[in-house]
């Protein structure tokens, strides 16, 4: 089911699928909710899956001024309030993973568990372009997502260039979380990355080590787009983690 909700004055698109404990899925930058299609289909068998599209992404319009992780974190909090979601599993990919970290640090009461896929906590965590996989290969896999934006964005297909520049500014300067910030996270956390990710492996290890009792998974033979390249594997990892933590929470409450 798709619809719109007012989030801090912004007409925000979202989809809801399935029934069960709530899972909020936060897509990557320059991405529509379709990026998570395979994961949402798997999770909706056991969970109530919420897929909001953030400002300047997909069907949600851009706003004046720069994009920031803080503004999008505030949007996520407002979305959960509008949906009356008191507490949820948060699954974030790329930019969505970074927002998930901000959300968990600033609003721990809203986050039951956190999954960070291809996330980073400082701008320096990204590899320089010269060390990434050939850009043509990655963009070929991402091209369908750009086509969706150009078809559905209320700002028109030509606005993607503007949105891309806003994201590139943000990626160059943000995020700016510290090891101490990460150390405040207390919910069960799965840090997932790829063996050929855009995020430095050393940075992913630092993220994993800084979060108390986090789990780590490196998806083999994969780029930053592991959710598109190896959906069956990623889905199994997500289901195993979320189901196990759900059972543990239920047992603890009993």
Is residue 212 within 8 A of residue 129, CB to CB? The reply is no
Is residue 160 within 8 A of residue 153, CB to CB? The reply is yes
State in Å, rounded, how far the first CA of the chain is from the last one: 33
pLDDT class for 251, splitting at 50, 70, 90? very low
Candidates 3.90.1300.10, 3.40.50.1820, 3.40.720.10, 3.40.718.10; CATH matching 2-245: 3.40.50.1820
Task: Report the range of poorest mean pLDDT among 53-57, 106-110, 129-133.
Answer: 129-133
- Average pLDDT, rounded, for the chain: 93
Q: Where are the domains of the chain?
A: 2-245
For the stretch 193-224, pLDDT in tens is 999 999 999 999 999 999 999 999 999 999 99
User: Please, what sign has the CA dihedral across residues 83, 88, 92, 97?
Assistant: positive
User: 35 or 140: whose pLDDT is higher?
Assistant: 35
- Determine the distance from the C-alpha atom of residue 252 to the mean position of all C-alpha atoms in its chain, rounded to a whole number: 28
SS3 29: coil
pLDDT class for 247, splitting at 50, 70, 90? low
Is residue 152 within 8 A of residue 223, CB to CB? The reply is no
For the stretch 76-90, pLDDT in tens is 999 999 999 999 999
Is residue 238 within 8 A of residue 42, CB to CB? The reply is yes
pTM of the model: 0.94
């Amino acid at each position: 089911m798709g619809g719109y909700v007012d989030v801090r004055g912004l007409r925000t698109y979202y989809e809801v699928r399935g029934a069960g404990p709530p899972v909020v899925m936060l897509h990557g930058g320059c991405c529509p909710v379709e990026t998570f299609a395979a994961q949402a289909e798997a999770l909706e068998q056991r969970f109530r899956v919420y897929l909001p599209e953030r400002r300047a992404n997909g069907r949600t319009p851009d706003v004046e001024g720069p994009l920031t992780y803080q503004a999008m974190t505030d949007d996520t909090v407002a979305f959960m309030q509008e949906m009356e979601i008191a507490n949820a599993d948060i699954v974030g990919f790329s930019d969505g993973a970074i927002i998930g970290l901000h959300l968990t640090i600033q609003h721990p009461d809203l986050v039951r568990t956190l999954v960070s896929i291809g996330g980073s906590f400082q701008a320096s965590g990204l590899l320089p372009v010269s060390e990434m996989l050939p850009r043509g290969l990655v963009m070929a896999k991402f091209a369908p997502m750009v086509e969706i934006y150009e078809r559905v964005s209320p700002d028109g297909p030509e606005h993607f260039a503007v949105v891309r520049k806003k994201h590139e500014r943000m990626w160059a300067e943000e995020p700016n979380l510290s090891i101490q910030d990460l150390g405040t996270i207390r919910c069960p956390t799965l840090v997932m990355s790829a063996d050929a990710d855009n995020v430095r492996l050393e940075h992913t290890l630092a993220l994993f080590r800084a979060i108390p009792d986090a789990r780590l998974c490196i998806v083999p033979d994969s780029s930053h787009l592991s959710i598109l390249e190896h959906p069956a594997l990623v889905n199994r990892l997500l289901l195993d983690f979320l189901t196990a933590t759900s059972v543990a929470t239920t047992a603890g409450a009993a």
